[in-house]
Amino acid sequence: MSSAGSPAGTSPRSPDSPTPAVFADGIGPAARFWNPEGLLIDGPNGLLVADWANNRIRRVDLTTHEVTTYAGSGGEHADGSLRTAGFGDPTALRRGSHGILYVSEEFCLRAIAGFKVTTFAGIDDAGSANGPLADSRFDWPRAMAFDASGAMLVTDSANKRDPPHHLIGKTVSTYAGNIGAGYRDGPADQALFRDPWGMAIVQGTVYVADHDSNCIRMIR
């Protein structure tokens, strides 16, 4: 028997239950997300959110709790303006030099500069290839971090390795790991990862959350 005030066949949602998976801008509980993932502080009172299943980048005003759409139409991968661009499952966010916002998504890296969204590295298709940015290929890139030289490191999770993206040289090369899943310590070009996700760089040492190996790896 359905409860009064609830749609037939459903149960009333308690105040502590998760918000239904839909999309809506709004203030506080009026806003809706769908599998949000990466977070990034944006100025003194802003929080950017990679709204994964809604294919959008959202912004939360931490003072007013208002949620707005920062970029993305909700459609699939497409370059364009903040309003018309589409994302393919955006996962992580990172600010680079000159205020550029980088977004990792299903198969590539995107860049948001000013009011324009472009594909920065890779294409909207899975693969594994080093080389110039436009020729490089990724498969579920996730965390991004910059080292002291200005190179961007990316956990390329489905390819089971960590290729760094060199901003100055505008090329992609393999930093650590080999194609194929596994757990093996050793020299960077021989080590194996099962599913590298999170990453942090501390005083030149790279720490990687190897998701399916249930451990934290260290590259130095």
Token pair recorded at residue 59: 């912004």
Distance (Å, rounded) from C-alpha 95 to C-alpha 187? 30
**The overall pTM is greater than 0.95:** no
Closest CA relative to residue 77, chosen from 125, 143, 138: 125
Question: Residue 7: its pLDDT value, please?
Answer: 35
Low-confidence ranges of the chain (pLDDT < 50): 1-15, 160, 163-171
Question: Residue 216: its pLDDT value, please?
Answer: 83
**What are the C-alpha distances in Å from 85 to residues 49, 116, 119?**
16, 8, 10
Assess contact for 156 and 140: CB atoms under 8 A: yes
Closest CA relative to residue 82, chosen from 103, 60, 53: 103
* Domain layout of the chain by residue ranges: 142-220
Give the pLDDT confidence of 95-142 residue by residue, as tens digits.
998 899 999 998 899 999 999 999 998 887 776 777 777 778 787 788
CATH architecture of 142-220: Beta Barrel (2.40)
